[in-house]
Amino acid sequence: MTAFTPANLPSNCNTVEKVHVWSSALLRTINPNNTILETELQKEFIASNQQVQLPDGTMRNIDRISIELDPLYVSGDMKLWEAAREISNTAIPVTFTTNG
């Protein structure tokens, strides 16, 4: 697992949306080559993250994260976030813990 405490968040990461984008970019950064075979023929990155500019000029962050869930989640014995299994044990890079 990648160890985390709230102190790892930069102080300007102060909304749920910012935390989501932060964690998505972090997971992609620390797992750049991890893939999973989702179908017999299709291999996907466990974490992908990209920024795109829409025709109206706005920028969007698009991410896709695939996290294994504990089988007990299906039986309703735990909450979704409690069922999340670790992807790797890579430490959080310093660039993700500071502003700017």
State pLDDT tens for residues 59-80.
Answer: 999 999 999 999 989 888 888 9
**Residues with Cβ within 8 Å of residue 7, at least 6 apart in sequence:** 97
| pLDDT at position 22 over 80 | yes
| pLDDT at position 97 over 90 | yes
Query: How do the residues of the chain divide into helix, strand and coil, expressed in percent and rounded to 5?
Result: 30, 20, 50
Residue 18: its H or E element = helix 16-30
pLDDT at position 72 is 87
Give Rg (Cα) of the chain.
Answer: 15
Q: Which of 62, 70, 58, 22 is nearest to 45 (CA)?
A: 62
